Amino acid sequence: MENKSSNATSDYDVFYSTGESGDKKLVFQMRATDLTDKNSVITTDYCAASLRLIESYTPGSTGAAGTVGRPSEPWKYFMVSPTTGLLSKDTTMNYRINVNKNRLIIVIESPSATGVGCVLNYIGLPDEIYAA
């Protein structure tokens, strides 16, 4: 996966991949703020960022906003901690990442002293799809 954003302020991070097979157009947008686009997981004690599965993205020139396909797609929660409350922004979190051209898997662990468990976020395509 590759970050294609031409303007992180307006477009946030835009990840794109052609998938392991090379014939896919996998694209999603992530931002460090919650669904209200107000509470940053970087600068506040809130525990949710957000993402959306957009149809396409065409970067603008360097520093200019790009064009998002399906801009009406709603933002979804991307949990950094499994609590709807607050967790100090100074808390050191441990994380593990598994990424390939089909998917991004992130496990985020809170320190045991917080009493808060871990979060598993999976974005993308599974290796195998079963249908009944």
3-state SS string for 54-91: CCEEECCCCCCCCEEECCCCCCEEEECCCCCCECCCCC
Mean pLDDT of the chain: 90
| Residue 26 domain flag | yes
- Alpha-carbon distance of 82 to 40, in angstroms, equals 16
In a domain, 98, yes or no: yes
Whether 132 is covered by a domain: the verdict is no
129 in a structural domain: no
Domain count, the chain: 1
Cβ-proximal residues to 8 (8 Å cutoff; 6+ apart), any chain: none
Percent of the chain with pLDDT over 70: 98
Lowest mean pLDDT among 46-55, 66-75, 84-93: 84-93
pLDDT, tens only, 78-129? 988 887 667 888 888 899 999 999 999 999 998 888 888 889 999 999 888 8
Write down the pLDDT at residue 112. Answer: 85
Q: How far apart are CA 27 and CA 62, in angstroms?
A: 19
Could you give the C-alpha distances from 68 to 21, 60, 63, in angstroms and in order?
24, 10, 15
For residue 103, is it within any domain? yes
Tell me which residue range forms the domain holding 93.
2-124
Contact present, 74 and 54 (Cβ < 8 Å): no
Asked whether the predicted pLDDT for residue 4 surpasses 70, the reply is yes
131 in a domain, yes or no?
A: no
Residue 30 confidence (pLDDT) above 70: yes
Q: Give the sign of the dihedral formed by CA 71, CA 17, CA 31, CA 114.
A: positive
For residue 38, list its beta bridge partners. none
Residue 5 pLDDT class (50, 70, 90 cuts): very high
Length of the chain in terms of residues written: 132
Contact 41, 79 (CB under 8 A): no
Residue at 43 is within a domain: yes
Mean pLDDT on 37-55: 91
What pTM does this model have? 0.82
Within a domain: residue 130? Answer: no
Dihedral angle sign, alpha carbons of residues 59, 26, 104, 40? positive
